[in-house]
Structure 1
Amino acid sequence: MPHPSFRLVAPLAVFAVVAGVPAAAKDKAPPPLPAQIQELYACRDIGDAAARLACFDREVGELKAADQAKEIVFTDKETAKKTRRGLFGFSFPKLGGIFGGDEDEIKEIETTIRSVSMDRSGKYMLVMEDDAVWVQIDTTRLPRQPKPGQKVKIKTATMGSYFATVDGGRTIRMKRDR
Structure 2
Amino acid sequence: MASAKDRILDNFEDILIKEGERAATMDAVAAAAGVSKGGLLYHFPSKEAMVQGLCDRLAELSAADAERISSAPEGAARYYVRTSNYVDSPLDRAIVALARLVQQGHPAAASTFARIQELWLDTLELALGSRPVAQAVKLIGDGLYFSATFFSPDAQQNQMADGEMEALLQQVDALVGRG
TM band (smaller chain)? under 0.3
Please state which structure has a larger fraction of its residues in helix. 2
Task: Answer 1 or 2: which has greater strand percent.
Answer: 1
Per chain length, whose mean CA-contact separation is higher, i.e. which structure has more relative contact order (CA < 8 Å, sep 6+)?
2
TM (norm. structure 1) is 0.24
Computing the radius of gyration from Cα coordinates, the structure with the larger value is: 1
